[in-house]
Every structure is written in structure tokens, then in C-alpha cells.
Amino acid sequence: MLLVACTDEPGTPTAGSTPTTTADSSTTSAKPDAGALADVKPCDLLTSSEATGLNLTSPGEPDRVGGTDACDWSESGNGGLIIGVNPTRGIEDLDYRGEKTSPIKIGKYDATKVESHKGAKYVCHVVISVSNSSSVQAIGTLKATSTDTVAACERATKAAELIAPKLP
């Protein structure tokens, strides 16, 4: 059986050709490539007034955590916050196997909340998936003797909500 289709468009008809479709970019959520985070400085992601709103009074200090550029706001007796920028590591590249994770939404981004990372009840990670191969981590901590995971997650989540609009 031979199918022939006619259109008003100029050109040469060919048998067996299949129309192609393209996705409408307004309905798909395109994410930036891994290079989008290459120039993002973790300490630039929170202003001093935003940090104060998270009960962090010391200025953020540039750091490297697990091979990742980070910024550390440490408060004696009050825990702190670490922001890590992973331009080449998405959530699937980070080792959260066996952890209590839950999907959340931070601004326009999909994110993952990791409660009590490695059993530490005073720690909570919120990982923003900027792309499949890049992410930003907000790690909220309390003093090491605390068992208030909820408060650590509130700090990490609030920080993530503040920095998400600043991401590409």
C-alpha cells in the first residue's frame, strides 16, 4: 500500500516520509547546562541581611567541601550553614544512598531534602537540581548536640529559597 499526502508547501514529495515535530519550548522546562554554574561564587548567594535573617551573624567564609567550592557561615554554639556549588555534579552524582530523602520544589527548581545526613540529627541538606549534571547544596546545621532535624531543615530550606532566584 502506498500513502501519498498533498500539502500547499512547495517541494518534492517523497514516499514514506514522516512529518517531524518539535517541542514547544514554552511548555518544556529547559534547564541550563552544567557550565551555567561555573562562575557562581557560593559566598555571593546570600547577602549579609539574608544571613542575619537565618540567625547567622558571622560573614560567610570561602571553603572547599568534598572537592566543591563552598561558603561556610559558622556560628559558635548555633551551628551554621554551608552553601556548595556543584557545576558538574547533579543530585544523582551525590551519594545519598540509604538517606531519608524527599522531593521538594525550591522556586522554579526541583530539589531534594536530605534529613539527618549520615545519621546526624543536627544536619539537613537541601539540594537544588539546576540541571541533571549540576546542583547547589544548602546544608543547615545546629550545634552538634542538637536533635532538632526540623530546625536544621528549616534553615537549609529558607537558605535555598533565598538563593534559588539568583541561580541561572
Domain residue ranges in the chain? 34-166
CATH architecture of residue range(s) 34-166: 3-Layer(aba) Sandwich (3.40)
Cα separation, 68 vs 84, in Å, equals 6
Q: How confident is the model over 126-156, as pLDDT tens digits?
A: 999 999 899 999 999 998 888 999 999 999 9
Q: How confident is the model over 2-51, as pLDDT tens digits?
A: 333 333 444 444 444 333 333 333 333 444 444 778 889 999 999 999 99
The residue among 118, 139, 154, 129 whose CA lies nearest residue 42 is: 139
| pTM over cut 0.95 | no
